[in-house]
Structures are given as C-alpha cells and as structure tokens.
A and B are shown apart, each in its own frame.
Chain A
Amino acid sequence: MSVRTVDVIIVGASLSAAAAAKRLVDAGLETIVLERKELPRHKICSGILSPRGHRFLLENFGPLPRETLHEPTSCRGVTFHFPSMVSMPMDFFGGSTPHLHRKYSDYWAIKSSGAEVHDRTSFAGLEDNGDHVLVHARRQGEPVEYRARQVIGADGPSSLVIRSIYPDYPQTIPWFFVGQKFHDIIDCPLDPDYFHFWFHPGLGHYTWSHARDGRQIVGVGFKRGDNFAKKHENVVNYLADKHGVRLQPHTEDEGCGENFGPSLINRYVFGKGNVLITGQAAGFLNMIGEGMSCALHSGAICGEAVVEARARNRPMQEMYRSMIASEVRRTTDQWNPLKIAFERPHEADFPAALMALGWRDRAKVLRDMWRFIVLYKEFKWGRQMFRAAMQRPLIGGYSMQRWL
C-alpha cells in the first residue's frame, strides 16, 4: 500500500475545512481534504449564514454563485416566538444574509480553496508520531494511508478525529438530536423572510421553522433518546393551533447528532500534538445554533496557526490556542448573560427589540425565557456559564484551562 506524503490532511469537506484549506494552500502547503461522501454531498443545515460568515465567504472565495443558495436566497433576520404569544422580529445588522444550499456552497468553497480533495475516502484513524502523523483511511472500502505533518479535524460534531485522540470524549458531553421535516404549504402566515425560533419548553430544546424552495421546514432539537416523530408532530400541531400554519404531511425528513454545549461553558476541544480540531467539531456554535460563521473563522484560524507555527518554529497547539482565543471570545460572548444584557454580541439587536415592546410584553418575554432556560437545568451548565461570565472582564477572555 503506497503512502501519500503531504503537508496537511484535513478531515471533512465542509466550510471550516474550506477555510482552513484556503489559508494552507495560499501559503503554499500541500493540502489534501478527505471526505467520506461523494461530492457534492447533502448536508443537514438551516443554511442561514450570519452576515459575518457571508463577508468571510465573499472576501475569501468571492461572490456566491446562484447555485449555492436556496430560495428564498436570503434571510432578513430572526423572529423569536414565546409561549405568551409575543413575537420579536429582529433584522440582522448590515442587511439580509444568505440562505445557503450546503450541498453546493460547501462544494464551491472547498473547490475554491485550491486544495486537493479526495472524496469517498473515510478517515479510519491516526498515529501521531511527533514529527509526522500517519492517517489511515478507506477509499471505497480499500485501505489507504497518508503521512502529514499536521492533521486538522473539521469533521463536524460527531468527529472521528476527536474520537481517535480522545476516545472517551463523546461519553463526557450531553448529545442532542436535531431533525427537520419538509412540508408543502397550505397556508403559512410566518414571514418567509425570517428564521423563526420558539422559546417554548413544551416543544423542545431547539424549535424552529423557515421557508425553503417553496416548502416549510419544521425542525426540533432535543436530548438524544427522545422520539423525533412525536416531537415533530407536537410542533406541527402547535404551529397550527397558535400561528395558523397549515401544512401538508411531510415529504422528507433528516436529522443528526449535535454537540450543543461547549460554546456555552467554554469547553472547546482543540486537539493535541499535531492534530488540531476546528469548526463545530471543536464545539463552536453561535446562539440560535448558527455554526457556519464560527466554523469558517475557526477553520481559517486553524490554517493560519499551522502556517504561523511552522514559520515561527513554535509549538503547534500553543500557537493555535493563542490565536483561536479571539474566536472563542466572540462565540462564547453570545451565550454570556452579561454580554447579552449590556452589549450587543449577536448580529441582531435583541435588547433593542425587547425594549421596543411594551413593559407587559417585556415582562412576559423575560418570564418565558427564564422558563425555557430552566429546561437546560439538568445539564448543570448554569454555574459554569456564570463563572465564565465573571471571568470575561477579569482576564479579558475565557480561561484556556478548560479547553481540551
């Protein structure tokens, strides 16, 4: 079996991988991206990219081709809905933002990065030997090997790269399931220009709906082990009762596991030795579950760290952790109650939308939000979030000691 020797192997072909590959290829490093599926491949995602992520794509890969977008091509903002039937529409800062068709946007980005992509090639394990990493993979069932100076795990929440270096990690965090079903629309009063999110503990940990390609997506996230069909049916009935949304039975459905949590409590995973973890695999997730923009930025930082560490002859992990601190601040700030109360860490203005309500509705919203937050009590994140929030002004960031 021949061994292909390159500078860097990236596992996964999503947006964080494309961003990392872009930095590495620009710097002249020979980079191979391993993707287990055949490209272009389907990806479960809302596709609502934040304006910051849009700017990153524009600056690094150019204007988005039409085929990388769903219909409607853009999303104006987010509408929060509460059990008390108060709704708060909030426009994104800087204007509308793309509704990405992940199958083609990811393909476009990874191709534009200039990296060599080996699709239908599954990561199977690695050995970090200090001066190089041996990567084992399977291509259409046959074993293949790569030898690289560094490996970047950009393979999403259920990361096989993380499992190869921290086999017990998946058992140490709570797992969620998020699923969405696609419905033809009979009547839908929900504004198609907005992404709709429900702070309703009776519906699920993460409940959303938005328009896509003439259909309505109804999605729900919950602790793994619960029943997707029942949860979904509950949401559909609620939308019909409370919002007058009338939908045909779903025609398609999909779902995946999510590592919702590390961003809230500053428990990111950045790897060890010559193996670096980035994107949602590392735990980056913005509020309302938008992970693409922080995947893009963390992926780019990961690529930069490899380049910088080589150029300065500094330890890889030290360089990566020092550079990624800014993205950690930006992401975890979004979950920091002090930041939410006194600053504007999000790309839409929640405090302004709240203040635009009458005082009765404001009180209802705060009460409903508190009841929703209590839903997460079992994960014991509250104290950890509080500690992180206190740390932020004292040390100017979040403790690196908590990172894996």
Chain B
Amino acid sequence: MGTPVVQPGPLGSYAVEPGTVGPCHVAPDALQGIKRQQTNPARWNGPNWDEFSTAVRAHGIDLRETIAARAAFATDAGGTAHGLAHGVVIARSTEQVALLLRAAQEYRVPVTVCGGGLTTEGETVAFGGVLLDMTGMSRVLAIDANALTVRTEAGIFWHSLAEELRRQDLDYLSAPLNLTSSVGGTLGVGGIDVNSARLGCSADQALALQVVTPTGDIVECSDTHNAELFQRVILGYGQFGVITEATLRVRRYTPLRMHYFYYASLATAIEDLQLLDRNDASDYSGILTIMDCAVNVLVAFDSTEREAAFMANWRGRLRGYGELGFGLRMLAHYALRPWKLGEAWYLLQRKRELFPELRRPEYMRDGTMFDRSVVFSRAVWKFWGSRQMVIPDLATSAAKFVEAVERGNAVCRKYFPRYTLYLVGIKLRPEHLAHYEMSCIPPDAEGWAYGCEFEPMLDGRAYSRDYLQSFKNEIYDIGVDMGASYYRFGGMMKGYIRRVFGDAVVDRHLALKRAADPAMILNRHVIF
C-alpha cells in the first residue's frame, strides 16, 4: 500500500517568488498599512540540488553537507529564525566564490552569505540552498601606512583587522560595537561606532571593493570606477554582489581620553549629545543606558588638545552629573521611592560589575584608553549584549530623535523588566547620498542622522519568537509612524521596507536586483 502523501492539489502551487507583493482578497482595509508580503520565507525545497552539488564539486569546491557543518549556521545572533542549508561552502578565494555563484545561477540554487552571523532578523540564515561562510577569507592583503589605507579580505572580523593594523601603529576609522562583525557584512549594512557622529557610518570608510556579482563576474568598484555597482553594494544588504575584498581608509593609532557624564533624563542627555555633535566638541560621543534610569553620555578624544578644548568650551554646558553627584541623586531618588528598591539594587549591581571591567589596567591607565577595540568589543558587548541579540532600532533625523527614543523606551518598559539603550549620531556624507537611498539614513535627515538600539536584557530566559517579534514590531511601528528608518533592514522585518521607503523606491531596486541576479539566488529573502 502506498503512502498517501499530499501532493500539490487542485489549488495549485503556493510557492511565492521573492519580491512578490500579493493581491489582497480579504478586504482593502484589512491589516491597514501592512504589505501583503510573506516575510518568513518558505524553505527552498531543493530541485536541482544534486546536479548543482555535482557541478560545484567538479570545480574543486568543498561543499559540506554533513549535519554538523550545516547546523553550525542554523541561526544568527538574533536567534529567532532557524534554518538549515543543504550545504555549506567556506569561502577560500574570489575565484571560488565566482564559480559557486555561476553554478548557483545556472541551477537556481539560493546562496546565503554569512560573515560574523550577527544579523538579528535571520538575514544570514539559509532556508535551504548554500550557505557561503565568508570567514574563510580573512587575510589582510596590504597595508599602506603612507596613504593610510588597508586592503583586506572581506571575511575578516574587525578585531582581527585592528590587531593587524596596530602592528603598524594604525587603527580602523569606524567599526560596529561588536567587533566579531565581518568587514564585508558591515559594509553591506552600514555599521555605527561612537565616532560615527564625526566620521559617518562604518561603510563610509570603504574606498574600493572587489565584488563577485550574482552572475559570477569579479568586478573592482569604487566611487570612480564602476560607481553604480559600488553604490548598490555599499549598504546594499548583499543583494548585488558578494564583497570579497575591501580597501578601507585607516588612521594613525591614538589612545583615547574618555569621560562619562550621567543623566537621569533621556531627553536631556540626547540634547547634550546633539549639542556636542553639532559643534564638533568631541572625537567620540554616544549614549549607553541602563534602562532609562542611568543614562550615560560618553565622550572621548584622540588628543589632549581636543580634550582641553572640550573642557574649556563645552564641559560647563553639559547638564550631566559626575559619578559621585549622580550617585547622590540616585540615592535621594530611590529613598523617596522605596517600591523601586529592586530597580535600585539592579543599578548598583550593574555598576559593581561594569565599572571595574571598563577600567581594567590592561587597557585603561590614568583615564586613557589604550585599546578601544578591547573595551568596546569585550567590556561593552559583554554587559550590553547577550547570547541572543534582540535589538530593534530606530534611526531618525536629529529633530525627531527625542520623541522616537522616548516612545521606544516606553515599549521596552512594557515588554521587559531590564533593558538598555545605545544611541549615537551618524554624520552624513553628501558625496555618499547615492549609497543611502534605501538604508538606515532617513530621507529627512540633514547633517546627522541619529540611531537608537533598544536591547532587552534577556538573562538567558527563553522567550517565544512571537513575543520578541511583537516587541520589535512595536518599535518598528514607531518608525513607520514617525517617518524614520532602521539600521537593520532585512529578514523577518522586510515587510517594513516598503512601508518606510514606498513602493516606487523598492520596486526600482527590485528591478535592478532582478537584472543583476536573474535567478534571484543571492540573499534572496533578505529584503525583497
């Protein structure tokens, strides 16, 4: 007796092409504002996989199909999307990546590219097809200390790049707080640092790229050479090519002089941060909070001259407290609110754990930070991140930022007992406007955009994806309501792309994508 397996029946096939926004048969007013788009993609069911795997192996590509190899990439840092590739390829060379993409295009096999895997919405999770692990291409190729540039393979992590640069007394310009991001992945989405208010997003430091297009061509591009491809690949969410090498602008290494100012009000801290940014008063600036109770504005300087100028001209205008003053204020605050003693205890514990970590003598002496990469990637991330990164964000113009943060903060309070915020400015580079068209830079931002990440402290607790997604959606809905944008823009939140940018812009990019990637194989479900 045969097994009565249900086959595609009288209703036909329900496979949905990437980028499809369906008709709505329910009602014109159903789910108001929400696009009729599947955001959690169906698993690719593997037609042509055998022919494809035979073809790539014939080219000498090591295609790993063991469950152990594939399961290592089952989820990303967000931990809410789980998928399994049919096979994994570790990138070894640009030519190998080109061969892989050519075969994938021919056999219509999806390719999902993963660097550090620090996406939060499943963008680097493969729902079938090939997972291309770029961390196999992680060598620094050339450092030009005179021209202040570095040529590196794109799978390198920022902390490894920093280590190589340090040997020649150099440093990167700007990298994400979590330095286990890969260079290629960062350039594809933006990246922000506490010096972004002066230098722009991390992707702005890219001078030139080597890209493998979705059809397997190897192309060098920059602002002056194949500029259109360069514009699409930078902040392009991996849609228009795999970045295999990058030339980045670097700088001379300098230790940093750090200062912290403490606030009890988000709005006041943001106003002061924007004051500093507008007046170029510091080399580094940002806000890290413990909920909305302890708001820390950090400023830092590359030189004693800049620090002295800040102290002379701007220190007195900041409304933040020093450590002692803030401690006394908190004491008075909680003495009058004994029902909030749990919160006070939590703040105290955090202070006890965090402060020694930020001031360890290995890299912090006499108020000077000798290794920002360690502080930011280790200390900060250790205390502001967790194994599962749930970090919805909002990016707005300077004028809308206070309202956006306060509304997002209220959502955090509703969903989680403990959370933290990370706020930073992003200097806009007029010559890079073409890069920003469909990115975290909101269209109404002038001079600076401002971003805030809202991160619950999950403390190892298991939450359902639905709960976390509901939290994120409420944050993202604020963005739609206020005409803002987001740092993270793909995966399960791709439904917001059309809501934020409008159909005309997205359809234009989709047409470009379809022209560049006829089989829609490369990171096919990330944004379209």
A→B interface (CB under 8 Å)? 22-23, 25-28, 38-40, 51, 54-55, 58-67, 69, 73-74, 76, 94-98, 104, 107-108, 110-112, 114, 116-121, 139-140, 142, 297, 300-301, 304, 307-308, 311, 314, 319, 322-324, 326-327, 396
Contacts and interface: CB of A to CB of B under 8 A. Distances in A.
A119 B74 contact: no
B11 A107 contact: yes
Contact of A97 (B20, B22, B30, B38): B30
B11 A104 contact: yes
A76 B492 CA distance: 28
A71 to B, nearest CB: 11
Nearest to B20: A62
A26 B83 contact: yes
A311 B82 CA distance: 10
A114 B26 contact: no
Interface string B459-475: 00111111100000000
A63 B25 CA distance: 8
B304 interface: no
A39 B26 contact: no
A275 B159 CA distance: 45
Contact of B32 (A27, A63, A94): A94
B43 interface: yes
Interface residues of B, number: 49
Interface string B66-97: 00001100110000011110000000000000
Contact of A73 (B16, B25, B38, B40): B25
Contact of A319 (B6, B23, B45, B462): B462
Contacts of A114: 42-43, 45
A267 to B, nearest CB: 20
Contacts of A39: 6, 9
A212 to B, nearest CB: 15
Contact of B40 (A60, A95, A110, A327): A60
A311 B467 contact: no
A97 B417 CA distance: 33
Nearest to B40: A60
Contacts of B465: 300-301, 304
Interface of B: 1, 3-6, 8-9, 11, 14, 16, 20, 22-27, 29-32, 34, 36-40, 42-43, 45, 70-71, 74-75, 81-84, 127, 417, 461-467, 492, 495
A103 to B, nearest CB: 10
B82 A27 contact: yes
23 contacts: A25-B43, A26-B40, A26-B82, A28-B43, A39-B6, A51-B30, A55-B34, A58-B37, A58-B38, A59-B38, A62-B37, A63-B25, A73-B26, A73-B27, A76-B27, A98-B26, A104-B11, A111-B6, A118-B5, A120-B4, A140-B1, A304-B82, A323-B462
A403 to B, nearest CB: 15
Closest 9 interchain pairs by CB?
A: A28-B84, A63-B22, A74-B27, A62-B38, A326-B467, A27-B82, A96-B27, A95-B29, A117-B6
Given A73-B27, A139-B1, 16 more contacts: A27-B83, A58-B31, A61-B38, A69-B26, A73-B25, A73-B26, A76-B27, A104-B11, A111-B9, A117-B6, A118-B5, A118-B6, A140-B1, A297-B464, A322-B462, A326-B467
A62 B30 contact: no
A270 to B, nearest CB: 13
Given A54-B30, A94-B31, A95-B29, A300 B466 contact: yes
Contacts of A69: 25-26
A97 B26 contact: yes
Given A104-B11, A111-B6, A114-B42, A27 B74 contact: yes
A65 B14 contact: yes
Nearest to B14: A112
A62 B31 CA distance: 13
B284 to A, nearest CB: 37
B1 to A, nearest CB: 6
A18 B103 CA distance: 33
B214 to A, nearest CB: 23
Nearest to A51: B31
B6 A59 contact: no
Contacts of A97: 26, 30
Contacts of A301: 464-466
